[in-house]
Amino acid sequence: MKKIGYVIPVFPTLSETFVGVEIRAMKALGHPVQTYAFSPGQHFQPADDELKQHCRYLSTAPTYPFEGLWNIHRCHTFLRQQKGFTYLSLLRQGLQLAYLAKRDQCEHLHAHFAWHSTATAIVAAKLLNISVSFVGHGADIYATPQDIDSKLKAASFICAVTKEMQNELQTATKSPVLHIPCGIDASQYPPLNTNWQPKKDFLFIGRLVEKKGLGTLLYALSQLPPDTNLDIVGDGPLRPGLNQLAYQLGLNSHNRPQVHFLGHKESAWYRQHANDYKALVAPFTIAPNGDKDTGPLVIKEAMALGLPVITTDLSGCDEILEKQYGLQVPMNDHSALADAMAYLRHQPASALAPLREKAFKRVMDQFTARTQAQKLSAQVEAS
């Protein structure tokens, strides 16, 4: 099977575990894989440590691998079309990646995020005359796209993590656009726990950024009975402001709902503690700059762990839950969110068993990393 060079902006990093999951799934299918990145991440999941040890960073290549210049005519037009990067700097990094990929005998380059990593992968692939693809995620498509039209036309094929994105991108290119959502590693999830007796109420997991809707969540929590509790796992730039908002809403005061900011946790923590909670609350929204979550992995993980989901009507959530595998409310509506949380909180565990079973079956049938890797592998082999 073709050897694939994965091109990633920062690797590994804590909030992008889907990359490592996909790579391991492709290797399990028989693809040799080599990872390339522009810089290493400071925090990452232990599962990605082995991949990190073998990752090659562009800085390890010669600064100017001149032998690749013989094929510059292959990428000249694409280089001229890029407005987000200077011609020479992008050419230099493309030459560096081509140098490494040729030494490693890569037959296909696959980039995550339609930014600099994709531009560099396309330049390198054209220099080497091999196929190339990229994955569009969220901010790279909706918030801060960079020369996306030229990348869509230059790639051998494109992967979109939602059907909505697939339809939008396909209108701009004749290259195939595949719907390949991020999947879970099914081997890391135990059978559904039928003896589920949660002791806590609600859990949020994710980066503390605008598109997660955490302000709406705190307002909703403030409307619930005083014995309600919420644990927030994750960190990010909004944490100081969220702490201040919690204080202003009187949360954590005597006879008021409680919220606890637990900071970063490893992925194993989620699997170990998910059954302690009554539900995952993920009030996704669209940030002012257009950024939004697309097919959120945290929802799929909750379904695999038997944790009921309360989320919003964001399109990526619709595609996962289809209105029947969890509770959904309008975005930015804290009253509707509070009602959904209150409803689910008062349901006995036995009453939620059918929902948990349906959600578990759906994620294991539709959203495993192996299922998605098989679709990606078939397209790589055909390119």
Mean pLDDT for 260-282 is 94
A 10 A CB-CB count for 105 gives: 10
Cα dist. 381→24, 43, 250, 372 in Å?
Answer: 17, 33, 57, 15
Residues 294 and 252 in one domain: yes
* Tens digit of each residue's pLDDT (9 = 90 or more) over 72-100: 999 999 999 999 889 999 999 999 999 99
Average pLDDT, the chain: 95
pLDDT of the residue at 298 = 95
The pLDDT confidence band at residue 45, using thresholds 50, 70 and 90, is: confident
* Tens digit of each residue's pLDDT (9 = 90 or more) over 122-179: 999 999 999 999 999 989 999 999 999 999 999 999 999 999 999 999 999 999 999 9
* Structure token pair of residue 268: 């194993």
**CA–CA separation, 381 vs 108, rounded Å?**
9
* Domain harbouring 306, CATH code: 3.40.50.2000
* pLDDT of 14 over the 80 cut: no
Residues 353 and 233 in one domain: yes
Q: How many helices (H) and strands (E) does the chain have?
A: 15, 13
CB-based contact 327:347 (threshold 8 Å): no
**Sign of the alpha-carbon torsion through 82, 83, 84, 89:** positive
Query: Model pTM?
Result: 0.91
* Tens digit of each residue's pLDDT (9 = 90 or more) over 316-371: 999 999 989 999 999 999 999 999 999 999 999 999 999 999 999 999 999 999 99
Residues 281 and 157 in one domain: no
Residues 212 and 179 in one domain: no
Residues 224 and 277 in one domain: yes
Helices assigned H by DSSP within 46-111: 49-54, 76-81, 87-103
* pLDDT of 33 over the 80 cut: yes
Judged by average pLDDT, the poorest of 13-17, 19-23, 130-134 is: 13-17
* Tens digit of each residue's pLDDT (9 = 90 or more) over 47-78: 888 898 999 999 999 988 888 889 999 999 99
Residues 282 and 161 in one domain: no
pLDDT of the residue at 267 = 81
Could you identify the residue written with the tokens 């059954």?
A: 275
Is cis: bond before 12, omega within 30 of 0?
yes
A 10 A CB-CB count for 263 gives: 11
Residues 308 and 215 in one domain: yes
Residues 175 and 218 in one domain: no
Residues 190 and 314 in one domain: yes
pLDDT of the residue at 64 = 87
Residues 100 and 225 in one domain: no
* Tens digit of each residue's pLDDT (9 = 90 or more) over 211-225: 999 999 999 999 999
pLDDT of the residue at 187 = 92
The pLDDT confidence band at residue 12, using thresholds 50, 70 and 90, is: confident
Residues 210 and 235 in one domain: yes
Cα dist. 199→274, 276, 279, 339, 353 in Å?
Answer: 11, 5, 11, 20, 16
pLDDT of the residue at 47 = 82
**CA–CA separation, 238 vs 15, rounded Å?**
16
Strand, coil or helix: 132: strand
Residue 107, phi-psi category: left (phi > 0), alpha (psi -120 to 50), beta (remainder):
alpha
Q: Within 13 Å of residue 145, how many CA atoms lie on the same side as its CB?
A: 15
* pLDDT of 235 over the 90 cut: yes
- What DSSP element (H or E) covers 281? strand 277-282
The pLDDT confidence band at residue 43, using thresholds 50, 70 and 90, is: confident
State the residue range of the domain holding 300.
186-366
**CA–CA separation, 167 vs 156, rounded Å?**
17
* pLDDT of 15 over the 80 cut: no
Number of domains making up the chain: 2
Phi–psi pair at 295, nearest 5 degrees: 55, 55
Residues 151 and 205 in one domain: no
